[in-house]
Amino acid sequence: MDTASICLGSGAVEFWDSRPVEGTIKNVTVSRQGQHWFVSLQVEMAIADPVHPATAQVGIDLGIATFAAFSDGALHPPINAYRRVAKKKARMQRRLARMVKYSCNWKKQRQRIAQLDIRIANCRHDFLHQLSTATSKNHAVIVVEDLQVKHMSKSARGTVEEPGKHVAAKSGLNKAILDQGWGMLRGMLAYKQAWRGGAVIAVHPRYTSQTCPECGHVAKANRVQQALFACVACGYTYHADVVAAKNILALGHRERLNACSPR
């Protein structure tokens, strides 16, 4: 890693050149994260259309107890980056609330909380980057759920005239949903597949956890437990999240066939 310099309005500033710059620089963005500064270079270059080296396809079911279940049977547990330090952050915030506002100790405590938030984000990003990179390298087609995270994590508090129900439970669920980074994973898969010449297909997850992949029977009773699927029609049993991933992959196949068929 070498040092280089970049010219800003106030003069030249040195930075660590983490990778060689290819192409023509079109835009430079300087940002700050905590006590650290970063520079991002946007370049323009001509590249050939990539061809994905793999031929495998996979469906992915996202959840909270199991972060990602693949249609080939692989299960990836969640990292829960925020939940692991939630109590520590709450203590730090209570301590901050007892301090004199804008005092030196107050500013130091705010900085400690900011550093903890950065560590949470870094842990989540590292986990998602590793999973998305491995998945993109090994699969030419990836089918994911078209999850509306914004609506799923909407508050259940309601209004004064119409108060919500089970507000505390829904609040905990919302925190768990936002802690996973489902939308971030989908975005990472999309641009990494574009780099490699692969494809990402988003399908509606309706009834994917209640449909038998063997006989096609759809029933709420098929979902015996959170992690167990047992078809009441043919008796097929398997991990419920993997069953959902298999159905998601099948939906992706149908969407590709419909898109390719002549009108």
89 burial level (CB within 10 Å; 0-12, 13-18, 19+): middle
Domain identity same for 16 and 144: no
Residue 126 structural domain: 57-260
Q: How many CB atoms lie within 10 A of CB 28?
A: 12
Residue closest to 211 by CA, chosen among 252, 248, 158: 248
Q: What is the DSSP string of 57-89?
A: EEEEEE-SSSSEEETTS-EE----TTGGGHHHH
The DSSP H or E segment spanning 141 is strand 141-145
The answer to whether residue 199 is domain-embedded is yes
pLDDT digits (tens, 9 = 90+) for 169-184: 778 888 888 899 999 9
Q: Bigger pLDDT: 31 or 71?
A: 71
Domain identity same for 10 and 40: yes
The answer to whether residue 210 is domain-embedded is yes
pLDDT digits (tens, 9 = 90+) for 230-253: 999 999 999 999 999 999 999 999
d(CA 35, CA 154): 33
The answer to whether residue 50 is domain-embedded is no
Q: How many CB atoms lie within 10 A of CB 173?
A: 15
The answer to whether residue 89 is domain-embedded is yes
Domain identity same for 24 and 136: no
Amino acid at 23: G
d(CA 25, CA 4): 14
Domain identity same for 61 and 31: no
Q: Could you tell me the pLDDT band of residue 16, with boundaries at 50, 70 and 90?
A: confident
Helices (H) and strands (E) in the chain, counts: 6, 11
Find the mean pLDDT for residues 160-174. Answer: 73
Which are the catalytic amino acids? Answer: 61, 145, 241
Domain identity same for 90 and 19: no
Domain identity same for 229 and 119: yes
Amino acid at 124: R
Domain identity same for 132 and 175: yes
Residue closest to 13 by CA, chosen among 23, 32, 24: 32
Query: How many folded domains does the chain comprise?
Result: 2
Q: Bigger pLDDT: 14 or 44?
A: 44
Buried b / exposed e across 70-80, counting CB within 10 Å, b at 16+?
bbeeebbebbb
The answer to whether residue 187 is domain-embedded is yes
